[in-house]
Structure 1
Amino acid sequence: MKTLYDVQQLLKQFNVFVYVGKRLWDIELMALELDHLYEAGVVDKQTFVKAKLVLNREHAVEEEREQAKQN
């Protein structure tokens, strides 16, 4: 699992489709959904950790992008 698309495909396996309209919000909602799937025991720890790392990286990139727009 290396990209946001990979995380989207993982969530899609559980019929979780996320589109809020703003990429940063989409990433945050995906992280919440992933947390719920892990807590429910349907996603193993290794997959969960990999997906969270991808989401954290993408979230940081989006925050930098938004800050660059404001400056």
Structure 2
Amino acid sequence: MKTLYDVMQLLKGYGTIIYTGDPQADLELMEEEIRELYRLQFITPKEYAAAVLILRQKQSGKKK
């Protein structure tokens, strides 16, 4: 997993599509959903760490 698109595809695979019109809110909701998938053990620790890293980089305005 390397891009925001990859994170979105991961969420989509579990039936979650997030679009509120507010990019910052979208990132926050995606992180909450990723956390919940990890808590329920649907995704691996590696997937969780990669997804959270990508989302936090986007939230802070960094590329990738």
TM-score normalised to structure 2 length:
0.93
Aligned to 1:7: 7
Gaps of 5+ in 1: 63-71
Amino acid in structure 1 at the alignment position of 2:36: H
The runs of 4+ residues in structure 1 deviating greater than 3 Å are none
The structure whose Rg is larger is: 1
Matched residue count: 62
Gaps of 5+ in 2: none
The aligned runs of 1:48-67 (5 Å cut-off) are: 48-61=48-61
Q: How many percent identity over aligned positions? A: 37
The structure carrying a bigger helix percent of its residues is 1
RMSD: 1.1
Once the two structures are TM-superposed, the CA of residue 3 in structure 1 deviates from its matched residue by: 1.1
